Amino acid sequence: GYNQVFINLKGRELGGIVDPSQYDSVVNQVMAVLSSVRDPDTGEPVFSVVMKKSEAAAFGLFGNRVGDIVISAKPGYAPLGGFSPTGSPFVNATPLKTITGNHQDLPYYPELWAVFGAVGAGVGHGVLGLIQSTSVAPTVTALLGIDPPLNATGNPLPIFKPVTVTETTTQTSTTTLQATTTLTTTATTTQPVTTTVYETSVLTITSLIALILAAATVVLIFRRK
């Protein structure tokens, strides 16, 4: 997590007092003060990150909701709102009183690693290892079948079961027998159908009877198959 400083800029903030022409100068002054803060006991810098808004995109922070200055304290330190009761920039944290929890520090600190688990229909079995938190939102939206958030930068995690799709096709064949009267027989099957077409121009009664018997034979063949 990160803490952010918003400059009280005229024209952007309600009651802003910093003129846009002074914006860069004020940002640089605030960053210099924050970078100079050191632990009085060890002398080490308190903040591991002090950067401008334009540099924060490398950490996945961008858009209008990002502060003008982004800071991240080292483990063991936590910025608090308000004024120091002693006048010192440092106050010893009293568990459950001064501070009960915080979102801070850089994501590569092992102390901040969390557990990700997914259970449910469509989710396979396995162990992913280390993942990026930016992949959580795209994974959830993929499970729900909806579009990911507009500014999402991660990709869905490989947790989905493979899906087998079975497709059945139906083939229709039409056999037309031409005589003095046109006779049509239709058969529907999932297998290829062999058809025979009989053509004639003038049929005697005997030929017509033979033709009808031939058509009946075709129908019987279809039924036996």
Whether residues 90 and 43 fall in one domain: yes
Whether residues 92 and 118 fall in one domain: no
Whether residues 34 and 91 fall in one domain: yes
Most confident of 45-54, 106-115, 158-167: 45-54
In terms of DSSP H, where are the helices of 43-186? 136-144
191 vs 170, residue with greater confidence: 170
- Please state, in angstroms and rounded to a whole number, the distance separating the CA atoms of residues 186 and 170: 13
Which of 157-171, 184-198, 204-218 shows the lowest mean pLDDT across its residues?
A: 184-198
Most confident of 9-23, 49-63, 209-223: 9-23
How many other CB atoms are there within 10 angstroms of residue 56's CB atom?
Answer: 20
**Per-residue DSSP letter, 60:** T
For 82, left (φ over 0), alpha (ψ -120 to 50), or beta? left
Condensed to tens digits (0 to 9), the pLDDT of residues 75-94 reads 888 777 777 777 777 777 77
Task: Say how far residue 157 (Cα) sits from the centre of its chain.
Answer: 9
Whether residues 137 and 193 fall in one domain: no
Whether residues 52 and 89 fall in one domain: yes
Condensed to tens digits (0 to 9), the pLDDT of residues 38-53 reads 998 899 999 988 999 9
What integer pLDDT is reported at residue 184 of this predicted model? 44
Q: Largest Cα–Cα distance in the chain?
A: 122
Q: Domain range holding 153? A: 114-162
Contact 40, 17 (CB under 8 A): no
Helix/strand/coil for 132: coil
Which percentage of the chain shows pLDDT scores above 90? 27
With a cut of 60, say whether residue 178 has pLDDT above it.
no
Whether residues 122 and 139 fall in one domain: yes
The average confidence (pLDDT) of the chain is 74
Whether residues 103 and 118 fall in one domain: no
Whether residues 7 and 101 fall in one domain: yes
Helix/strand/coil for 165: coil
- Binned at pLDDT 50, 70 and 90, residue 212 comes out as low
Whether residues 98 and 14 fall in one domain: yes
Which percentage of the chain shows pLDDT scores above 70? 63
With a cut of 50, say whether residue 111 has pLDDT above it.
yes
What integer pLDDT is reported at residue 63 of this predicted model? 78
Specify the amino acid at residue 219: V
- Please state, in angstroms and rounded to a whole number, the distance separating the CA atoms of residues 26 and 37: 17
Domain count, the chain: 3
Whether residues 128 and 210 fall in one domain: no
Whether residues 87 and 134 fall in one domain: no
Whether residues 153 and 185 fall in one domain: no
